[in-house]
Amino acid sequence: MADARSPNSRKPRQERDTEVRTKQWQPASLLPTPDPEDGYTFRWVRKSMLGIDDPSNFSRKVREGWETCRIEDHAEMKLSVSAEAAASGLIEVGGLILCKMPTEMVEQRDAYYQKHGQAQMDSVDNSFMKENDPRMPLFRDRDSRVTFGRGSK
């Protein structure tokens, strides 16, 4: 009688490695994803919303350092862009324009906003703790004690 763990009852390693799992269906992304580019981070920036232009938002993002991506630099995006958007040379989908920024600058930007947010939280905490009075503390440290033997005194 052959043991269930015997080498003859198992598939060889090469045969198991070549088995392919079936791909699971998932809904399409609303915005196409550009091919990654070393040293750059991509982001969709709003140019218009509900057909109304928003030039202040777009110009603010450009001043922050976001550069528009050109359609000729990203051939994989040509099918996702309308004819009039392609004529402008930009990659625009639904009022959003694809932009990129060096990853180093994105990390600096994230650190700036993280520091700014932490400063705001510290300010709120300090303002709240100014109201603290030792006679009626806002926070009370809860210390629990476990005693063995004689019980409580």
107-126, pLDDT tens digit by residue? 999 999 999 898 888 888 77
The pLDDT assigned to 76 comes to: 81
The pLDDT assigned to 1 comes to: 52
Number of domains in the chain: 1
Within-domain flag for 128:
no
Within-domain flag for 84:
yes
Does residue 90 contact residue 28 with C-beta atoms inside 8 Å? Answer: no
Residue with tokens 């303002």: 127
Distance CA 30, CA 94 (A): 10
Strand partners, 97: 45, 92
Does residue 67 contact residue 88 with C-beta atoms inside 8 Å? Answer: no
Q: Which domain does 78 fall in, by range?
A: 41-102
Within-domain flag for 16:
no
Distance CA 150, CA 148 (A): 7
- Indicate the range of 60-69, 101-110, 132-141 predicted with least confidence: 132-141
pLDDT: which is higher, 1 or 102 = 102
Within-domain flag for 73:
yes
Within-domain flag for 51:
yes
Within-domain flag for 146:
no
Within-domain flag for 126:
no
Q: Does pTM surpass 0.75?
A: no
